Structure formats: C-alpha cells, structure tokens
Amino acid sequence: MDTAYLLDNLKRHFHLDPASARLLIVGLGATGYSIAQFLLTTPIKFAVIDSRRTPPQIDSLREQMPDVPVFCGGFDQSAFEVATHLLISPGISLNEKAIRKAVATGVVVLSDIDLFACATDKPVIAITGSNGKSTVTTLMGDMANAAGVKTAIGGNLGTPALDLLQQDAELYVLELSSFQLERTSALNARAATVLNLSPDHLDRHADMADYAQQKQRIFRGDGAMILNADDTMVMAMRESERHCLTFSVKGDADFHLRHGDDDHLMQGDQALVSASELQLEGSHNLANALAALALGHAVGLDMNAMCRALKRYKGLPHRMQRVADVEGVRWVNDSKATNIGACIAALEGYRRKVILIAGGDAKGADMVELKPIVATKAKAVILLGKDAHLIAQAIADSVPTHFADNMKQAVRIAANLAEAGDSVLLSPACASLDQYKSYADRGNQFAEAVMELT
C-alpha cells in the first residue's frame, strides 16, 4: 500500500491530518477488526469502542495491538468527545445517542469502504440491491478471473474490503449493504449497480424512500451506472449525464432476455448464451446474470470469457439451492431469502405451484405484499418462527396454511402435502435470528431434515 497516496486522499476527502486526527472505531466485529489492522500500518492514532462487554475480536485485538485503547461494555461519551473521526461498523445504527451527539459537534463519519477507496487506484465494481447481491458478486468474480483479470471479491460478502488490499488485485468487486453505503462517501466505482429494491431493513431505515436513498449512494462518482429496467425505483436513479446500461428480463434493454422455446440472454441484437445452458434456477437469476454481463462489459471484460464462466456457475449455498429429489418431489433451499422481495423473486421463477416454507423475524416489513404472489404461486404455505402468525394474517385465506414449531416439523408437514412433480421451497422472507444462528444454519437444518426423508 502507498501510505502517502492514502493520507493524501484522506486529507482531501475527510480533512484527516494524521498529526492531529483521533479516530474512534465503533464496533469490534469483523469489520471493526479489519479497520484496526489496517490503521496499524499507518501513522494515524486510533482507539476502539464496543457496547458489548466481550466483543468477538477483543482477544485478538488485545494480543496483537496491546497499545490500542479499547472501551467495552457501553458507549462512553468521553471516548466520543476526544474523537475527530468515527469509523462506524455497519451493524451499529447512526441513530445511537453517542454517535448523534458527536456528529452534531462536527465529528466526521467515514467507513471501511472509504478507507478502501482512499487506499487504491485500481478499478472497483460495486454491487448492491435488496436481493441477488451475493450471487452477482461471486459470479462477477468468476467472470473477471475467467477473462484473465486478477480479481478479489468481498465487502458485505465474506472478506472485509480492507483485507482484500492484501491480495494486490487488478480489479475489486464489492458487495455493499445499505448500512455500509449510508456511511460511505469516497467510493467512485468504475461500474456500479442497484439490482433491485424491495422492503428490507425497515427496522433501521425510516421508510422505503430512505432505504432507496442509501442504496443510491453507490452511484457517487462518475462511473458507469447499471440499472434494472424492470424496477421503477431503480430507474428513477438514472443520471442523464452518466454512462448508463440497463438490463431486463421483461422487456427491451441493453442486456435483455429474448423469450422463445429456449430463452436467450442478449446484448442488443446479439445472442450471448441460452438460458437452458445455465445451471442457475429461477427467472430472477437470469436477471442477475444479465446484470453481471452488463457490469463486466462496462469495465471491458471479454464477453466470451464471461459467458463461459456463466455457464459453469452453480450459484451460492442457501440461494435457490437444490437439496434433493425425494419420490418425485424437488426440495429447494432458499434460506438466504431474508426479505419479502427475495421470496417473491423465488416464487416468480416457478411455472407450477410450490409448497412454501416461510417465516422468522419479519424485521418490521409489511407482509401483505406476499399475498398476491402466494395466491398465484403457492399450493400451500407452512409457517414457523417469531412472525408466523403475522404472515398468516397477511396472506389470510389465499392458500391453505399450516404452522410448525421447528424446521424438522415443517419438512414433515411438507412431505405429507407434496405429490410427485411438486417442489417444496424454503424461502422464508424473514431473518433467521429468532430461531437460528444464521440463515446458513436455518438452511442446513432444512437440508438435514430433507435428507432424513431419504
């Protein structure tokens, strides 16, 4: 890393002078720890604070950075009062009282993504959206590497952005959440996309307008904008003076789907690859593939190499993942569908009605939005988790509804309802932490219960 380059950018963007700056890292999870490791290689002084008594990375921090001040067990206002800059982890709300008070006195907020942007001049592809971020990010990484470009992927997915700098890549692909974007201002991606927008994280964002506004921050700068022509809220972000590419599975766009006996992914009039050649399941994954092709095209990747990688790509665990076929019934794990939009997208990809397993923590979302798609695409719904009855009220009488106490019971109920030719889809439309360690834990328990049927 070129430290002089970093410090010059930090001074220009954030008025950060290492001689006088006092940075406070707020939150000591994976992101906070990656920030601390990064700052340790610079002359910038910093401290760490976490509201938890024993944050996840506290032992590693104290062992490797014994001279770094650490405050645990609450947000001590005195620590904020001496700070000139706050580096706030995505999991911590900007509405915390201590943070709001510090910002009101002129303390500058930045993020790990800002540090990353100030540290490298390599091109960045930035990806956000309510659904499909991880799929497009990993697919984009495969495409770029297939095109002979050394690529590193991370951000909200897997490796923290700052840790990627150790890979000395030629191209970086970042998945970014609304929480990361709301505190990021220095990123100028070579190409960026908002894949789609649907209600999510409304327990942290004031409303959909606020949520969309935070997502739109990914387009700061002058890079190419990749827009979903099928999403009116995304298309409203278009800037007339910027280079824009569109994608669509419903109509005309720069990258679109040509419908027929065998659908084809198209760039203008040129057929790129047929849908039947892909290993991805569901129409929403065709949209993800088109978005990735548009992003790659915007940064100059070889189209033939990208199409070869697309044909090989099998998707992500817990995202429309085929678990098993048992007595003619297909079982599909979409546990990563932690919001309404992801569940809707999964259901829209089916031509036959499915048995849906859903439920968990709705995160304040209005589940009434599920009713039309459930009525159209579901043969029956099995609900479990904290907000099961809330969902049942929202979809009232649109489809036969059953309740389960746990995943094993939900799978047994589904097995009794299913007939040969049916699909059983776990697509919860909710977060998992009411009953499980993570969405992955939820998906694994689903898969284990399904395998017991065999």
First to last CA, the chain: 53
Asked if residue 157 lies in contact with residue 135, where contact means CB atoms within 8 angstroms, the answer is no
- Which residues fall within 8 angstroms of residue 9, CB to CB, at 6 or more apart? 117, 118, 119, 186
Structure tokens at 140: 């984009």
**DSSP label at 107?**
P
288 is a catalytic site residue: no
Query: Pick from 215, 89, 221, 222: which is nearest to 161 by CA?
Result: 89
Residue 405 neighbours by CB under 8 Å, 6+ apart: 384
What gap in Å lies between CA 280 and CA 265, rounded to an integer?
13
* In contact, 363 and 431? CB cutoff 8 Å: yes
Task: Find the catalytic residue in 9, 85, 131, 133.
Answer: 133
Catalytic-labelled residue, pool 85, 145, 201, 339? 201
Closest CA to 426 of 356, 374, 373: 356
Question: At which residue do the structure tokens 């000395």 appear?
Answer: 168
Instruction: Please tell me which residue in 156, 196, 285, 339 is annotated as part of the active site.
Output: 156
How many whole angstroms separate alpha carbon 155 and alpha carbon 149? 19
Indicate if 156 belongs to the active site. Answer: yes
Residues in CB range of 229: below 8 A, 6 or more apart: 235, 246, 247, 248, 250, 251, 252, 253, 256
Angle between the N-to-C axes of helices 303-312 and 283-298, in degrees from 0 to 180, rounded to the nearest 10 = 150
Q: What gap in Å lies between CA 107 and CA 144, rounded to an integer?
A: 39
Question: Within a 10 A sphere around the Cβ of 200, how many other Cβ atoms?
Answer: 25
Catalytic residues: 133, 156, 201
